[in-house]
């Protein structure tokens, strides 16, 4: 039976002030018989069940140092870090480190490690493993493929982050910092870059675990059938015996089309889906219920190539922004499920710079500027899959923007690819603009504003570089939380609004659904969940 849910209000505010997700309620009417039959041979108990998750995009890789995208947070079920985020907020708590301390000057972090932990391949977790996981991402060892290395561990050029890592006992590790870092403890709890991996597996697979993941988490890797699914099973030697998985297996099925995901859910082929298209909410409600991440910590944006081509000139970037009626576009495409962005950061983060002026819709001024600059044709690179920050998918958004450009006399060619191909094309192809987005990794402003730092590497898809901006980024990292640090990021926002490396579009609300048989599925403010707490009734 369908229910009318107040979808715009389903959420709660976590202790850190971020909007958190609704734990999806189970309602009669959303069948899951076929998905649950996998575990029925063992009596149909929750512990014997297989949980099947239908996700939008295929994994780019399963090595947390090398991956930069993780649909359905697949990796978070297999890996753990020294620290982790609390279940319902962005507070940092112990994980593989039982305890830690920071020197008064903020330059030395000492971690007491948990004993009796094993990796999925049987290797003991200890100080050697921690040193190996971190050291591979420090300069000069890090590679260009390690997209998060500079975010998590800093860089020599910027004078930030970890200078060295030292084993001071079998179960004690010390990190020596170049400078004090306010977001560093949050960085160590992040999904990308920070998790600890098996040193034995690194040796066996030549420092690349993208297809051979091996961590200490509650689930261990079984197989990856490219284009189809990733499978994992309970790690019986998991150290936290009080929180062993309630389902014995997880299957992540890659289902790109929103309608196909909904069909798979209502037919009982999967138990959970992500990326429910707003237009399909009524259909999903008719078979069960929908959970919404209210005001998720996300940003949907378009990056200009500021290094070369049509938009190396800021006046051209300004004209583009004037050509697009963002408020109309967001209302038309997203309705109640996104809000217009006025900032490079989500609304849930301070300082939210809504009063900083950005170019307003002015098609006449845009047409005049483009004619003066001689710009008649531009290229856009985009993804085709829906994302948490863009539930209608990149193709639809790109074509809408294309229509606005046509109205001011500019033809825009669109090259659209699935997310995996798109990420590669970002690094290999020339483009004038590209669509992108960001979900908060750690609840800290640096996680968003650092995307425009010169040394952000492959994450800086605008190829933007401004020495004054870079200085502020370093200052923001080293400044303690409070009004002074907020002012640093406000200045970053002002520079970004003046230089326009991005056209900010919207902040999204993520829509997902479960079958009636699923219990314990809750999503934290950073859009991840712990699968070991999810159970499924026959």
Comparing 102-106, 149-153, 233-237, 352-356, which segment has the lowest mean pLDDT? 352-356
pLDDT at 350: 62
Q: What is the pLDDT of residue 277?
A: 83
Q: What is the pLDDT of residue 30?
A: 42
Q: Of 175, 204, 233, which residue constitutes the final position of a domain?
A: 204
Q: What is the pLDDT of residue 294?
A: 55
Is the pLDDT at 381 greater than 70, yes or no? yes
Residue 65 has pLDDT above 50, yes or no: yes
Q: Can you give the pLDDT at residue 60?
A: 85
Q: What is the pLDDT of residue 387?
A: 85
Same domain, 122 and 261: no
pLDDT of residue 288: 66
Mean pLDDT, rounded, for 269-274: 92
Q: What CATH number does residue 463 fall under?
A: 3.10.105.10
Total number of domains constituting the chain: 3
For residue 391, the model assigns a pLDDT of: 85
The H or E element spanning position 327 is: helix 326-334
What's the mean pLDDT when you consider all of the chain? 87
- The answer to whether position 69 is within a domain reads no
Domain finish residue from 204, 237, 272: 204
Do 393 and 447 belong to one domain? yes
The secondary structure of 462-522 as a DSSP string is: T----HHHHHHHHHHHHSPSSHHHHHHHHHHHHHHHHH-SEEEEEEE-EEEEE-TTEE---
Same domain, 233 and 194: no
- Is residue 13 in some structural domain? no
pLDDT at 14: 27
Shared-domain flag, residues 281 and 328: no
Q: Pick 186 or 33 by higher pLDDT.
A: 186
Mean pLDDT score, 376-396:
92
| Interval 191-212 mean pLDDT | 97
CATH of the domain at 153: 3.90.76.10
- Determine the pLDDT at residue 20: 31
| The predicted structure's pLDDT at residue 8 | 27
% of the chain residues with pLDDT over 70: 89
Domain that holds residue 336: 298-508
Is residue 28 pLDDT above 50, yes or no? no
384 shares a domain with 271? no
The secondary structure of 76-132 as a DSSP string is GGT---SEEE-TTSS-EEESSEEEEEE-TTS-EEEEEEPSS-B-TTSPBPSHHHHHH
pLDDT at 372 exceeding the cut of 60: yes
Instruction: Lowest mean pLDDT of 112-116, 195-199, 419-423, name the range.
Output: 419-423
Specify if 328 maps to a domain: yes
Model confidence band, residue 292 (pLDDT cutoffs 50, 70, 90): low
Same domain? 374 vs 482:
yes
Quickly count: other Cβ atoms within 10 Å of residue 490's Cβ. 18
Examine the domain organization and report whether 356 and 502 are in the same domain. yes
- The model's confidence at residue 393, banded by pLDDT at 50, 70 and 90, is confident
Task: Kindly report, residue by residue over 423-443, the tens digit of the pLDDT.
Answer: 899 999 999 999 999 988 898
Q: Taking Cα atoms as reference points, which of 36, 15, 14 lies closest to residue 26?
A: 36
Measured distance CA(74)–CA(62) in Å, rounded:
8
Does residue 12 fall inside a structural domain? no
pLDDT greater than 80 at residue 22: no
Residue 39 has pLDDT above 70, yes or no: no
- Position 351 scores a pLDDT of 62
457: left (phi over 0), alpha (psi -120 to 50) or beta: left
pLDDT at 293 over 60: no
- Examine the domain organization and report whether 128 and 230 are in the same domain: no
Residue among 377, 368, 372, 369 nearest 309 (CA): 377
**Confidence at 349, pLDDT banded by 50, 70, 90:** confident
Which of 344, 347, 337 lies closest to 386 in space, CA to CA? Answer: 337
In 10 A of CB 355, how many CB atoms? 10
Question: Is 457 within the bounds of a domain?
Answer: yes
**Quick check: 336 pLDDT over 60?**
yes
For residue 279, what is the domain's CATH number?
3.40.190.10
* Confidence band, pLDDT 50/70/90 cuts, at residue 511: confident
Let me know whether 514 and 463 are in one domain. Answer: no
- Residue 331's pLDDT is 95
Judged against a pLDDT cut of 70, whether residue 116 lies above it is answered with: yes
Q: Do 350 and 371 have their domain in common?
A: yes
Let me know whether 381 and 438 are in one domain.
Answer: yes
Average pLDDT over residues 356-360: 92
Least confident of 148-157, 176-185, 345-354: 345-354
pLDDT digits (tens, 9 = 90+) for 167-179: 999 999 999 999 9
**432-487 pLDDT tens trace:** 999 999 988 898 999 999 999 998 888 999 999 999 999 999 999 999 999 999 99
The average pLDDT across 512-530 equals 83
503 and 406: one domain? Answer: yes
Confidence at residue 280, expressed as pLDDT on a 0 to 100 scale: 84
* Greater pLDDT, 16 or 309: 309
Report the SS3 class of residue 221: strand
């Amino acid at each position: 039976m369908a229910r009318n849910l107040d979808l715009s209000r389903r959420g709660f505010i976590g202790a850190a002030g971020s909007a958190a997700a609704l734990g999806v309620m189970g309602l009669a009417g959303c069948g899951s018989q076929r998905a649950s039959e996998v575990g029925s041979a063992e009596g149909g108990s929750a512990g014997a069940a297989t949980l099947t998750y239908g996700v939008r995009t295929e994994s780019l890789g399963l090595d947390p140092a090398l991956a930069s995208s993780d649909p359905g947070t697949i990796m978070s079920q297999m890996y753990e870090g020294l620290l982790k985020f609390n279940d319902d907020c962005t507070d940092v708590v112990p994980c593989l480190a039982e305890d830690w301390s920071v020197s008064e000057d903020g330059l030395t972090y000492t971690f007491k490690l948990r004993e009796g932990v094993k990796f999925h391949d049987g290797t003991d977790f200890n100080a050697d493993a921690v040193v190996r996981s971190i050291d591979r991402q420090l300069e000069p060892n890090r590679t260009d493929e390690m997209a998060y290395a500079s975010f998590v561990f800093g860089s020599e050029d910027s004078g930030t982050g970890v200078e060295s890592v030292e084993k001071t006992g079998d179960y004690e590790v010390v990190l020596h910092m170049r400078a004090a870092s306010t977001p560093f403890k949050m960085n160590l709890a992040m999904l990308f870059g920070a998790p600890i991996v098996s040193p034995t597996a690194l040796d066996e697979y030549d420092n690349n675990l993208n297809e051979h993941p091996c961590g200490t988490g509650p689930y261990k890797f079984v197989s990856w059938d490219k284009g189809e699914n990733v499978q994992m099973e309970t790690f019986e030697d998991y150290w936290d015996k009080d929180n062993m998985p309630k389902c014995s297996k997880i299957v992540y099925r890659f289902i790109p089309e929103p309608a196909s995901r909904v069909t798979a859910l209502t037919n009982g082929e999967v138990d959970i889906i992500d990326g429910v298209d707003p237009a399909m909410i009524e259909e999903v409600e008719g078979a069960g219920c929908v959970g919404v991440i209210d005001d998720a910590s996300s940003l949907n944006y378009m990056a200009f190539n500021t290094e070369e081509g049509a938009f190396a000139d800021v006046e051209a970037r300004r004209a583009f922004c004037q050509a697009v009626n963002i408020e109309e576009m967001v209302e038309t495409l997203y309705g109640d499920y996104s809000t217009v962005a006025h900032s490079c950061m989500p609304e849930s983060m301070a300082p939210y710079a809504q009063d900083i002026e950005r170019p307003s819709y002015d098609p006449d001024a845009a047409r005049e500027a483009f004619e003066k600059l001689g710009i008649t044709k531009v290229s856009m690179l985009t993804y085709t899959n829906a994302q948490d920050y863009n539930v209608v998918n990149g193709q639809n958004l790109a074509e809408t923007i294309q229509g606005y450009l046509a109205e001011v006399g500019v033809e825009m060619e669109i090259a659209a690819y699935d997310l995996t191909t798109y990420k590669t094309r970002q690094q290999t192809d020339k483009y004038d603009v590209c669509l992108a987005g960001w979900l908060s990794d750690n609840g800290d402003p640096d996680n968003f504003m650092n995307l425009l730092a010169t040394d952000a590497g492959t994450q800086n898809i605008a190829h933007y570089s401004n020495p004054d901006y870079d200085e502020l980024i370093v200052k923001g990292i080293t400044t303690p939380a409070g009004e002074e640090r907020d002012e640093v990021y406000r200045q970053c926002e002002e520079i970004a609004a003046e230089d326009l490396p991005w056209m900010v579009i919207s902040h999204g609300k993520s829509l997902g659904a479960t079958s009636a048989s699923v219990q314990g599925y809750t999503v934290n403010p950073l859009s991840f969940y712990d699968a070991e707490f999810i159970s499924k009734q026959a």
